[in-house]
Amino acid sequence: MKKLTIFDFDGTIVDVWKRYYQIFCDYWEIDHIKLKEYKELKRQYPNDDELVKSLGLDSLRLISYKDHKRSMLESIYYLRFDSLLVSSTDLQKFFINNNSLVITVRRDKQAYYSQLKWLGLDFIAPKTVLLNPSATDVKVNWVKRYLPESDITVIGDSETDLAFTEMNNCRVYFVKTGLRSYEKMIERWSGFETIENAQIFLEKTF
Residues 118 and 106 placed together within one structural domain of the fold: yes
Q: Are 164 and 101 in contact (CB under 8 A)?
A: no
Residues 149 and 116 placed together within one structural domain of the fold: yes
Its pTM stands at 0.95
Angle at the Cα of 46 from the Cα atoms of 40 and 48, rounded to 5 degrees: 110
Where do the DSSP E strands lie in 99-191? 100-105, 128-131, 151-156, 170-175
Domain boundary among 62, 79, 96: 79
Residues 93 and 157 placed together within one structural domain of the fold: yes
Q: What is the pLDDT of residues 114-144, one digit of tens each?
A: 999 999 999 999 999 999 988 788 999 999 9
Full domain range(s) for residue 46: 17-79
Residues 52 and 152 placed together within one structural domain of the fold: no
Instruction: Please give the torsion angle defined by the CA atoms of residues 85, 88, 91 and 93, in that order, rounded to the nearest 10 degrees.
Output: -160
Residues 7 and 68 placed together within one structural domain of the fold: no
Residues 89 and 70 placed together within one structural domain of the fold: no
Give the three-class secondary structure for 106: coil
Mean pLDDT of 161-187: 93
Q: What is the pLDDT of residues 40-86, one digit of tens each?
A: 999 999 999 999 999 999 999 999 999 999 999 999 999 999 999 99
Distance CA 89, CA 67 (A): 37
Residues 97 and 60 placed together within one structural domain of the fold: no
